[in-house]
Every structure is written in structure tokens, then in C-alpha cells.
């Protein structure tokens, strides 16, 4: 009788094991589907980034979103305080900011010490120098790397999207209102030479905004 009862219970155990296997298989397949979806979505989101989607620390140590500059034209420059190009560039960049700043434009200065160790000071020293010497009023950011190990994420976007990486101080990236790089100029190109294109973009932006009203 006991053997007969055990035989009758056996099928019940087999059914329970089958149900458990089915549930485990469903869970594994669901997890695999979720992982596959994440692997598909993440690269897409990365590709959709633009310059204004990043954050960066300003020269006073505060983390800010570059999103605040969306809708404006930006000239992004890796600056240095002890370079042979410092004098002319800072003067002309500040003049550009003074003339076009009120019309949806900003120079964005990113100090960098990677080229000739020509930006050795602290953020506080850099800010004091540019404010006192050149009356700089445009936004300045904390000292960063613009290439190689530890490169700033926003600058990596600039170089990756343009295909052009700085090889000295005062490279200039022109970014449109949507955060896309529209032009790049190396160190030796003076501000006077690039000003007409910047002014043209600013004018186009003003006209577009008026048309949208």
C-alpha cells in the first residue's frame, strides 16, 4: 500500500518540477530581453548627446549644466595665461563677448595646462589674472584636460564630433544654438578672421527668434 501511494505521488512532483522549470525559463528570457534592450538604448542615447547636454565645473568650483547656454551661439576655447597667444586672444575674445554677448552669444573659456605647462595656476589665480588683466566677463570654467587621459567629457564631444583635437592653447570651437559643432579654428587663426562667421550665425539666430514670435 505504501509503495502504491508513493507511485501515485511521483507524478505530482514531476508536474511541480516542470512548472518551476518553465517559470525559471521565463525569468531568464525576460532578463535577457531587458539586457538586450538596454544595450540597444544606451548607445543611441550617447549618439544623441550634444555639447549642451554635458555638465562642467565652473572656475569657482560649482557644477553647472551647459544646458543653460542652449539656444545661444557659443565659442568654446581652451585658454592659457602664459602663452604667446594669451594677450591678443583674451583681448579679442572679451571684445567679442562685449559686442555679441547681449545677442544670444557667449565665449566659454576652459583653462588647460596640457600645452607647454602654460596654465600652471589654481582656478582662483587664473580667474584673478583674467579679470584684472583683461576685464574678462565671459564664463570661465575649472582647469581641465582637453585631450588624452582624463579628458573633459564636453571637450571630448567637441573633438569627437568635429574630428579635430587641440594641439595647443586657444583652439576655438563654434557651437550652434542646438549644441552642434559648426566650425573649428586652430591657435594661429585670429579672432578677427572668425568674427564674420560668428556674427552671421548670431544674426540668423536673432531673425529666427523674431519669426517664431
Q: What is the pLDDT of residues 48-73, one digit of tens each?
A: 599 999 999 999 999 999 999 999 99
Q: Is the pLDDT of residue 91 over 70?
A: yes
Is 123 exposed, middle or buried (CB count within 10 Å of its CB: 0-12, 13-18, 19+)?
middle
Same domain, 43 and 141: no
The predicted structure's pLDDT at residue 44:
39
pLDDT at 167 over 70: yes
The structural domain count of the chain equals 2
Among 25-29, 91-95, 146-150, 174-178, name the one with the lowest average pLDDT.
25-29
pLDDT level of residue 209 (50, 70, 90 thresholds): confident
Answer yes or no: is pLDDT of 34 > 60. Answer: yes
Active site residue 83: yes
User: Does one domain contain both 59 and 148?
Assistant: yes
Q: How confident is the model at residue 213 (pLDDT cuts 50, 70, 90)?
A: confident
Residue 93: CATH number of its domain: 3.40.30.10
**35 and 130: one domain?**
no
Residues 4 and 79 in one domain: no
Rounded to 10 deg, the angle between the 191-212 and 86-100 helix axes is 20
Three-state DSSP class for residue 24: helix
Residues 113 and 36 in one domain: no
β 105-111/73-79 pair status: parallel
Q: Do 41 and 129 belong together in one domain?
A: no
User: What average pLDDT does this structure show over 141-157?
Assistant: 97
Q: Is residue 27 pLDDT above 50, yes or no?
A: yes
Nearest-angstrom CA–CA distance, 184 and 175: 9
Instruction: Please tell me whether residues 28 and 115 are part of one structural domain.
Output: no
Show the domain range for 27: 1-48
**Which one from 79, 83, 158, 198 is the annotated catalytic residue?**
83
The mean-pLDDT minimum among 42-51, 66-75, 109-118 falls in 42-51
Where does the pLDDT of residue 210 fall: very low under 50, low under 70, confident under 90, or very high at 90 and above?
Answer: confident
Q: Are residues 1 and 22 both part of a single domain?
A: yes
User: Do residues 206 and 141 both lie within one domain?
Assistant: yes
pLDDT of residue 194: 98
Same-domain pairing of 31 and 96: no
User: Is residue 26 located within the same domain as residue 117?
Assistant: no
Write down the pTM of the prediction: 0.78
Same domain? For 109 and 30 the reply is no
Amino acid at each position: 500500500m505504501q509503495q502504491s501511494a508513493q507511485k501515485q505521488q511521483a507524478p505530482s512532483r514531476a508536474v511541480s518540477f516542470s512548472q518551476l522549470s518553465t517559470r525559471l525559463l521565463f525569468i531568464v528570457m525576460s532578463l535577457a530581453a531587458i539586457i538586450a534592450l538596454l544595450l540597444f538604448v544606451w548607445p543611441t542615447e550617447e549618439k544623441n548627446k550634444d555639447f549642451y547636454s554635458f555638465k562642467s565645473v565652473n572656475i569657482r568650483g560649482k557644477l553647472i549644466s551647459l544646458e543653460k547656454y542652449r539656444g545661444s551661439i557659443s565659442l568654446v576655447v581652451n585658454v592659457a595665461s602664459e602663452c604667446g597667444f594669451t594677450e591678443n586672444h583674451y583681448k579679442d575674445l572679451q571684445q567679442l563677448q562685449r559686442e555679441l554677448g547681449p545677442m544670444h552669444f557667449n565665449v566659454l573659456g576652459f583653462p588647460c595646462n596640457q600645452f607647454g605647462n602654460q596654465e600652471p595656476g589654481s582656478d582662483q589665480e587664473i580667474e584673478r589674472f583674467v579679470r584684472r588683466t583683461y576685464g574678462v566677463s565671459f564664463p570661465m570654467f575649472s582647469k581641465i584636460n582637453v585631450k588624452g587621459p582624463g579628458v573633459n567629457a564636453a571637450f571630448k564631444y567637441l573633438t569627437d564630433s568635429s574630428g579635430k583635437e587641440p594641439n595647443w592653447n586657444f583652439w576655438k570651437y563654434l557651437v550652434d544654438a542646438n549644441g552642434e559643432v559648426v566650425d573649428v579654428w586652430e591657435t594661429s587663426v585670429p579672432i578677427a578672421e572668425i568674427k564674420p562667421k560668428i556674427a552671421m550665425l548670431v544674426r540668423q539666430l536673432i531673425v529666427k527668434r523674431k519669426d517664431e514670435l
